[in-house]
Homo-oligomer: A and B are copies of this chain.
Amino acid sequence: MTSGSQFLSPNFPAGPNGLLPAIAQDHLSGRVLMMAWMNQAAFDETIRTGQACYFSRSRNAMWRKGETSGHRQRVVRIQLDCDADCILVHVEQIGAACHEGYESCFFRTVHADLSISIDEPRLVDPADVYGH
C-alpha cells in the first residue's frame, strides 16, 4: 500500500496569506483539539521543527502554538486529504489546546434544541497562562 517515492504538497491557494485549514488531533486519544490555518511557511516550519506552527488570521502573523502559554504541540504525524487542501496534524499536546483552558477547543456540545452544554472541566485557568 505504501508508495514512498511520491511527493505531494498541500494546494495552498494564491492570495495574500494562502491559507488552508489545519486540524490538530491528539495522537493517542484521537480527540480533535483545534482547527486553525496554515500557509506554506507555517507548514514548512511545522515539518522542519516538529512543532505545530499555524498562521494567525487575527494577528496576521505566524503562530508558534504554545509560544506564550507553553502549551506546545509536538507533531507525531501529518496527513493530507484527497484534494490536498486540508492538513491533519496528529500531535502530543502539552497542557491545554484551547486558550480558554480546556483540553480541546471543542468543549461545547450542541443539542437538538440548539442548547449547548459544557461537559468537562478546564485543565487550566487562562488567567494563569495568559495573565489576563
Chain A residues packing against B (C-beta within 8 Å): 1-9, 21, 23, 25, 29-32, 34-35, 47, 77-83, 86, 88, 98-100, 102, 105-112, 114-121
Contact = CB atoms under 8 A, between A and B. Distances in A.
The number of times this chain is found in the oligomer is: 2
A48 B75 CA distance: 37
B82 A100 contact: yes
A122 B47 CA distance: 27
Contact of A108 (B8, B29, B99, B100): B8
A80 B109 CA distance: 6
Contacts of A47: 110, 112, 114
Given A4-B111, A31-B30, A98 B118 contact: no
Interface of A is mostly: loop
A118 to B, nearest CB: 6
B88 A6 contact: no
A63 to B, nearest CB: 14
29 contacts: A1-B117, A3-B118, A4-B111, A4-B115, A4-B117, A5-B115, A6-B117, A7-B114, A7-B116, A8-B110, A8-B116, A29-B30, A32-B88, A35-B86, A47-B110, A47-B112, A77-B109, A78-B109, A79-B106, A79-B107, A79-B109, A80-B108, A80-B110, A81-B98, A81-B105, A81-B108, A82-B107, A83-B105, A86-B106
